[in-house]
């Protein structure tokens, strides 16, 4: 199988590449992974091929699956108007390049898996949200919605689409935990706001496992739309090509209080400090909503499809991880 990954060298793409190659090698199955990049001179594993976006526009190569993960980190800096444009462009431009390739290639991919985030649902407090839930309009929703709707146009070329709405990914090598390690190790980690806001998270191992599960479920079904939809997770398209959405979150979301105490216990550090809402708003501006306002997003479609979480609790996700 040939897989093309945009954002392949990132926090999620690299872990997916490594685990998928390991599984295929153990099963004695052929797998070829290509990372789509703007700089093919960047360091990469020897068993990964690099392809630039310019090369993609000309290549005659074919891919069975495309995994579209490219996009600047939404929590990396304050949301100025310029930053908002960068966040959108970093998602839209790679997706447009992938769609242009899909449009012109004679052998279409069997599946496009395109990234998104649980921010699509907007701020809805502790209301349980599944793939069939509605949304509240805010910047996070608008960003995810434009990205998702563009990816769905792949169905115009008879390519099925799976949208994966990802929660907070837990692993010491990056993401939220990676950013919090230094302050928590120094003993200045603490709760945010009133600490009751819900955090919908997933371990990086389960994120990778879930994406592989989605790929294998779809490819085994040979495009049967009924086999690719569970618990109302089908998305509306303008044609008969199936599209569906999965929440990539743990079935056990936690409050910020629980997250803080669990992380502190794992690191054997105190968690006495609290950053109040007004200070978070002063420090991060509009982006503070990611820290103050919770979301209780549940992986209903994954569970209905039969995926079994390897690390369903936060304690399990942190246990055994190397610092």
Res 81: pLDDT? 95
pLDDT at 230: 55
| Dihedral sign (CA 85, 86, 87, 91) | positive
Nearby residues of 73 by Cβ (< 8 Å), 6 or more positions away: none
What gap in Å lies between CA 144 and CA 71, rounded to an integer? 11
Rounded (to 5) percent helix, strand, coil in the chain: 40, 20, 40
Q: What is Dmax (Cα atoms) for the chain?
A: 60
Is residue 90 classed exposed, middle or buried when 0-12, 13-18 and 19+ CB atoms within 10 A define those classes? Answer: middle
3-state secondary structure of 13: helix
Q: Hey, what's the torsion of the CAs at 262, 264, 268, 274, to 10 degrees? A: -150
Q: Please answer whether residues 124 and 136 qualify as being in contact, where contact means their C-beta atoms are separated by less than 8 angstroms.
A: yes
pTM for the structure as a whole: 0.94
Distance (Å) of CA 8 to CA 12, 88, 171, 311 = 7, 19, 17, 23
Q: How far apart are CA 47 and CA 42, in angstroms?
A: 14
Total length of the chain: 323
Q: Which two tokens stand for residue 26?
A: 């153990």
The tens place of each residue's pLDDT in the chain, 323 residues long, gives 999 999 999 999 999 999 999 999 999 999 999 999 998 788 888 899 999 999 999 999 999 999 999 999 998 889 999 999 999 999 999 999 999 999 999 999 999 999 999 999 999 999 999 999 999 999 999 999 999 999 999 999 999 999 999 999 999 888 888 888 888 998 888 999 999 999 999 999 999 999 999 999 999 876 454 544 555 899 988 899 999 999 999 999 999 999 999 999 999 999 989 999 999 899 889 999 998 999 999 999 999 999 999 999 999 999 867 76
Answer for the pair 35, 68: CB distance below 8 angstroms, yes or no: no
How much is the pLDDT for 224?
A: 54
- Classify residue 262 as exposed, middle or buried by CB count within 10 Å of its CB (0-12, 13-18, 19+): middle
- Summary count for the chain: helices (H), strands (E): 11, 16
End-to-end alpha carbon distance in the chain: 34
């Amino acid at each position: 199988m040939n897989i093309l990954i945009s954002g392949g060298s990132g926090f999620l793409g690299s872990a997916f590449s490594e685990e998928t190659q390991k599984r295929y090698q153990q099963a004695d199955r052929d797998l070829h992974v290509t990372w789509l990049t703007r700089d093919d001179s960047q360091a990469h594993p020897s068993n990964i091929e690099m392809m630039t976006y310019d090369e993609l526009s000309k290549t005659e190569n074919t891919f069975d699956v495309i995994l579209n993960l490219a996009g600047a980190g939404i929590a990396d800096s304050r949301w100025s108007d310029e930053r908002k444009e960068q966040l959108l462009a970093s998602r839209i431009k790679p997706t447009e390049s992938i769609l242009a390739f899909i449009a012109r290639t004679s052998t279409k991919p069997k599946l496009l898996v395109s990234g998104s985030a649980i921010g699509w649902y907007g701020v809805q407090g502790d209301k349980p949200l599944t793939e069939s839930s509605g949304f509240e309009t805010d910047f996070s929703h608008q960003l995810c919605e434009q990205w998702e709707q563009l990816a769905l146009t792949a169905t115009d070329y008879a390519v099925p689409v799976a949208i994966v709405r990802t929660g907070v990914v837990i692993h010491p090598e990056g993401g939220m935990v990676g950013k919090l390690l230094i302050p928590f190790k120094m003993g200045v980690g603490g709760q945010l706001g009133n600490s009751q806001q819900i955090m919908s998270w997933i371990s990086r191992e389960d994120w990778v496992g879930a994406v592989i599960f989605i790929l294998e479920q779809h490819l085994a079904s040979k495009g049967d739309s009924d086999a690719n939809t569970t618990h109302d997770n089908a998305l509306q398209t303008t044609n008969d090509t199936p599209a569906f959405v999965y929440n990539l979150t743990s079935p056990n979301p936690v409050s910020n209080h629980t997250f803080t105490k669990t992380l502190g216990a794992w690191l054997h550090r105190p968690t006495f400090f609290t950053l109040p809402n007004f200070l978070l708003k002063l420090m991060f501006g509009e982006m503070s909503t990611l820290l103050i306002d919770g979301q209780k997003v549940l992986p209903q479609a994954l569970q209905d499809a039969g995926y079994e979480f390897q690390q369903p609790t936060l304690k399990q996700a942190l246990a055994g991880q190397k610092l």
